[in-house]
Amino acid sequence: MTSTDSAQNTAADTTGNAPAKAPAKDPWELPDVSGLVVGVLGGTGDQGRGLAYRLARAGQKVIIGSRAEERARTAADELGLGVEGAENAQCARRSDIVIVAVPWEGHGKTLESLREELTGKLVVDCVNPLGFDKKGAYALKPEEGSAAEQAAALLPDSRVTAAFHHLSAVLLQDASVEEIDTDVMVLGESRADTDVVQALAARIPGMRGVFAGRLRNAHQVESLVANLISVNRRYKAHAGLRITDV
Amino acid sequence: MTSTDSAQNTAADTTGNAPAKAPAKDPWELPDVSGLVVGVLGGTGDQGRGLAYRLARAGQKVIIGSRAEERARTAADELGLGVEGAENAQCARRSDIVIVAVPWEGHGKTLESLREELTGKLVVDCVNPLGFDKKGAYALKPEEGSAAEQAAALLPDSRVTAAFHHLSAVLLQDASVEEIDTDVMVLGESRADTDVVQALAARIPGMRGVFAGRLRNAHQVESLVANLISVNRRYKAHAGLRITDV
């Protein structure tokens, strides 16, 4: 009984001390992303609109994408702050970083249709595949393992990461809220890419981007939203997450 | 695209305001658990031993369980603080609350063999089903959905909850660490039971128990440990979690 328990804890606790695995560079040394254009697919939804608002408010150039150009323009005009609206394909083409904030139901189809426009782009998937019934929310398991892995499978020529799963759309959109008190778990296969996403998260006051693993471990991060919904119900809160000791 | 995104966010953000669902009682009003005996199955492993140490240090009566009585007694003697050691069945029989901290590999078999001793007991599963390879840790998906749901299936006459998944065994066992800076996500089907587990977590200085949903949402909480392992590697940390806004 003891051995595997110890092995697990050893892996969790002491791998950070293994010199061979230790990263040479400071994990908090992140690139300057202030000049990058950020597109938000599904930017007319609450989550996308909230993220667009926060990033634009932090000084980032933001383009909201929607299937309907008119709707995107309307949402952009409402936000102000230099935000533009465009049809999804145009939004993807013009952006350096493309945040995917579409509903899970349209996730695969939308990404498949934008494969060309997203070639070479840094894609940030923030979609949470959830089901809802009388007992509340529950995790849906995509065939690929997670929404992020579905994105990676559909976009072999893009740089797919996952982040921004646990944010409250209410807090994001509330202009009277100055700081968003939360860490953002950032997942991906390439250090250069996750560094950029972490830096983007850090543009928003109160927010911090923390590397939290590879895409194969995205499912639990995506579906943890079901638990935060339970927390919000019980405590009448807009729960976020902080990672301690980092 | 917008509608489901909005629906999801509505569920996440506003259900707390739905009067029909609002709990009548203060969610922080928790029972006094100081007189309950806590057993720790797998208490000779790092995680179990760490939890036993912290609970005993907080004044709780603790019994460490192991397949081998002798090993349990040795571990208990090393901890002091009134901790006793016993063979698993005896440990379960004598305890009011039984924490399951065995390795995932022995989880099902151990619980099945203790069905009788665990009848009527409050069982707290803290097992994380993980696999490890060259790329690090990854989630294993138990047939029942999670370790906690496996426990519930094997122990129909026990009150099964899940908690204590994200703790660093290193910090738990380090006597120089005064406070464990983390929240404990507590899952279960019965409010009375999760309240007891939350109260037990709150006995440990720095720790807070937060209700985080039903057992069907345990898988992502269990497997999030894989992400914390990645965090620990990147930042050379012993990461924990805090839930903000509650």
Residues 6+ apart with CB under 8 A from A65: A39, A40, A41, A42, A43, A72, A85, A86, A87, A88, A90, A91, A92
Nearest to A213 among B169, B221, B227 (CB): B227
Is the torsion defined by CA of B113, B115, B116, B117 positive or negative? positive
Asked if B194 has any chain A CB less than 8 Å from its own CB, the reply is no
At residue A4, does pLDDT exceed 90? no
Give the three-class secondary structure for B182. strand
Average pLDDT score over residue span B49-73: 97
Confidence of residue A20 (pLDDT cuts 50, 70, 90): low
Identify which of B136, B138, B128 has the alpha carbon closest to the alpha carbon of residue B219: B128
For residue A221, the distance in angstroms to the closest alpha carbon of chain B comes to: 7
Average pLDDT score over residue span B169-192: 96
Phi, psi of B41 (to 5 degrees): -75, 135
Tokens found for residue B28: 């922080």
List chain B residues with CB under 8 Å of A103: 1-5, 8
Confidence of residue A58 (pLDDT cuts 50, 70, 90): very high
Look at residue A143 in the predicted model and tell me its pLDDT.
Answer: 97
Torsion of CA B111, B116, B117, B123, to 10 degrees: 50
CB contact under 8 A, B13 and A232: yes
Confidence of residue B9 (pLDDT cuts 50, 70, 90): very low
Is the torsion defined by CA of A62, A67, A69, A73 positive or negative? negative
List chain B residues with CB under 8 Å of A244: 181-182, 239-242
Burial A79-95 (b: 16+ CB within 10 A, else e): bebebbbbbbbbbbbbb
Q: Which domains does chain B possess?
A: 32-235 (3.40.50.720)
CB contact under 8 A, B8 and A128: yes
Average pLDDT score over residue span B104-122: 97
CB contact under 8 A, B213 and A136: yes
CA B32-B221-B146 angle, 5° bins:
100
Residues 6+ apart with CB under 8 A from A67: A87, A88, B1
Residue range A78-131, pLDDT digits in tens: 999 999 999 999 999 999 999 999 999 999 999 999 999 999 999 999 999 999
Residues 6+ apart with CB under 8 A from B109: none
- Nearest chain B alpha carbon to A170: B13
CA B23 from chain center: how many Å? 24
Give the three-class secondary structure for B180. coil
Residue range A66-76, pLDDT digits in tens: 999 999 999 99
- Nearest chain B alpha carbon to A20: B233
Average pLDDT score over residue span B17-21: 50
**Which range has highest mean pLDDT (A9-13, A23-27, B10-14, B184-188)?**
B184-188
Asked if B26 has any chain A CB less than 8 Å from its own CB, the reply is no
Residue range A153-201, pLDDT digits in tens: 999 999 999 999 999 999 999 999 999 999 999 999 999 999 999 999 9
Q: For every residue of A19-34, which 3-state class applies, written as one string?
A: CCCCCCCCCCCCCCCC
Look at residue A22 in the predicted model and tell me its pLDDT.
Answer: 55
Q: Which residue has the higher pLDDT, A2 or B58?
A: B58
Cα separation, B206 vs B182, whole angstroms: 7
Nearest to B169 among A13, A47, A245 (CB): A13
Look at residue A242 in the predicted model and tell me its pLDDT.
Answer: 97
For the entire predicted model, the pTM comes to 0.91
Tokens found for residue A180: 């968003």
CB contact under 8 A, A136 and B240: no
Average pLDDT score over residue span A219-226: 98
For residue B31, the distance in angstroms to the closest alpha carbon of chain A comes to: 17
Confidence of residue A25 (pLDDT cuts 50, 70, 90): confident
Give the three-class secondary structure for A4. helix
At residue B20, does pLDDT exceed 80? no
Give the three-class secondary structure for A176. coil
Look at residue A2 in the predicted model and tell me its pLDDT.
Answer: 28
A109 burial type by CB count under 10 A (0-12 exposed, 13-18 middle, 19+ buried): exposed
Nearest to A13 among B141, B214, B232 (CB): B232
Look at residue B24 in the predicted model and tell me its pLDDT.
Answer: 67
SS3 content of chain A, % helix, strand, coil (to 5): 40, 20, 35
At residue B60, does pLDDT exceed 70? yes
Asked if A133 has any chain B CB less than 8 Å from its own CB, the reply is no
At residue B94, does pLDDT exceed 50? yes
At residue B2, does pLDDT exceed 90? no
List chain B residues with CB under 8 Å of A230: 211-214, 217
Cα separation, A50 vs A52, whole angstroms: 5
Partner A, chain B 79-98, Cβ-Cβ below 8 Å = none
Identify which of A92, A242, A63 has the alpha carbon closest to the alpha carbon of residue B242: A242
Asked if B238 has any chain A CB less than 8 Å from its own CB, the reply is yes
- % of chain B surpassing 90 pLDDT: 90
Check if the beta carbon of residue A9 is closer than 8 Å to that of residue B46: yes
- β-strand pairing of B130-133 with B136-139: antiparallel
At residue A10, does pLDDT exceed 90? no
CB contact under 8 A, B216 and A241: no
At residue B8, does pLDDT exceed 50? no
Which helix (DSSP H) or strand (DSSP E) does residue A144 occupy?
A: none
